[in-house]
């Protein structure tokens, strides 16, 4: 486990030093959210109504923006070959990379989401549920992204291909995340929001089991 946490710490340090990862994703999140009110116009009730969908769609796109950083840089400089020869199982290596990606991308986006929600006129009473849905669902985005990143690790500029591969699998996460937040927003029966949140948690747990295994299989297929 010491090797596992060492890789996680290295990922966080590299993302911080290079200035990518979370900073790039948050900047994209901020720019995209800023453009929405300009396009919709000064219709505050409409902004509040579409806020759940807009927040989740841009969260999804912000995570996609940094997925090609998961393995490609290590592949190009030879670090990935050394890591694959280490005693650490490849599945745990993939999981460590995913944890580092989530800490530098997903977590900063969650902390920045109240500011973005304010720009969309979302009622502050709904901020806790918004952050909970993102906290529960965003790990699934990183875990699913690891599968696409593993399958495209040998392809230069494979960011677009990663997006095409993982976007269909992002749809259930998007549906249940938006559903939980919208149920609170429209004062639907309380169990509806909890059911969506439970399904979102189940998806993240399923991805936690399958994501590292599938990502490791993709790496092995490309690095034989």
Q: Which helix (H) or strand (E) holds 216?
A: helix 190-222
- DSSP letter at 189 equals -
Q: What is the DSSP string of 104-149?
A: IIIHHHHHHHHHHHHHTT--GGGHHHHHHHHHHHHHHHHHHHHHHH
Look at the chain and report how many structural domains it folds into. 1
Give the tens place of pLDDT for each residue, 170-210.
999 999 999 999 888 887 666 888 999 999 999 999 999 99
Give the tens place of pLDDT for each residue, 30-77.
888 888 888 887 788 888 888 889 999 999 988 888 887 788 777 877
The CA-atom distances, in angstroms, between 222 and each of 75, 114, 209 are 11, 40, 21
Give the residue numbers spanning the domain of 204: 2-222
Decide if 100 contacts 7 (C-beta within 8 A): yes
């Amino acid at each position: 486990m010491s090797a596992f946490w060492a890789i996680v710490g290295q990922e966080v340090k590299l993302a911080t030093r290079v200035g990518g990862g979370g900073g790039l994703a948050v900047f994209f999140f901020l720019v995209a959210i800023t453009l929405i009110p300009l396009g919709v116009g000064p219709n505050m009730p409409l902004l509040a109504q579409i806020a759940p969908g807009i927040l989740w769609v841009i969260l999804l796109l912000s995570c996609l923006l940094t997925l090609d950083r998961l393995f490609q840089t290590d592949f190009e400089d030879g670090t990935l070959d050394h890591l694959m020869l280490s005693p650490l199982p490849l599945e745990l290596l993939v999981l460590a990379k995913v944890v580092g990606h989530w800490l530098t991308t997903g977590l900063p986006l969650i902390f920045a989401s109240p500011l973005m929600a304010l720009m969309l006129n979302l009622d502050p009473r709904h901020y806790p549920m918004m952050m909970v849905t993102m906290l529960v669902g965003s790990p699934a985005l990183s875990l699913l992204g690891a599968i696409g990143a593993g399958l495209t690790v040998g392809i230069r500029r494979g960011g677009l291909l990663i997006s095409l591969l993982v976007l269909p699998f992002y749809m259930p996460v998007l549906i249940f995340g938006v559903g939980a937040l919208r149920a609170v927003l429209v004062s639907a029966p309380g169990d509806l929001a909890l059911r969506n949140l439970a399904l979102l948690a189940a998806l993240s747990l399923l991805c936690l089991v399958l994501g590292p295994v599938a990502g490791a299989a993709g790496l092995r297929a490309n690095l034989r």
